[in-house]
Amino acid sequence: MKHKKAKEQAYEMGKEKGYPSGKQFASQNGKVNNSELVDALTVSFEGLTQSADYANNTLPDLRRMAGYKDRIGAGTYTRFDTEEQYHNYLELVDRFEEGYSDGFRKGYGTQLEKESE
């Protein structure tokens, strides 16, 4: 997969994960100030990164998109073949996090708008 396309896909994956979390936060907390929103986003993302879904699905997908081939079995990545793959992977993780943040904020805003109608 071309790296530019992989970065776009990683961003969209993150956005899809963040959107429902942002909506849920808004429905539970209503309107909050920016500092509280950033704190909630941080806690939400940390929770995601500690989940089995993230470890067993998201990270392997990002490694695959970076060009690494898992030769032993799903989830058994132990090293990258090249420095380029490793750096591509780190960029994809960053793009996933950016997408999560944007998705969370969009979900939060969408839910607030819905509740104000």
Q: Please give the angle made by the CA atoms of 110, 6 and 76, to the nearest 5 degrees.
A: 105
> What's the pLDDT score for residue 60?
87
> Domains of the chain: which residue ranges?
3-116
The band of 74, judged by pLDDT with boundaries at 50, 70 and 90, is: low
Q: Distance between CA 18 and CA 99 in Å, rounded?
A: 7
pLDDT band with cut points at 50, 70 and 90 for residue 3:
confident
User: Which H or E run includes 112?
Assistant: helix 83-116
Q: Considering the chain, what percentage of its residues have pLDDT values greater than 70?
A: 91
Among 104, 99, 96, CA closest to 44: 104
pTM for this structure? 0.89
* Average pLDDT in the chain: 90
Q: Mutual orientation of helices 3-29 and 34-49 as an angle, nearest 10°?
A: 120
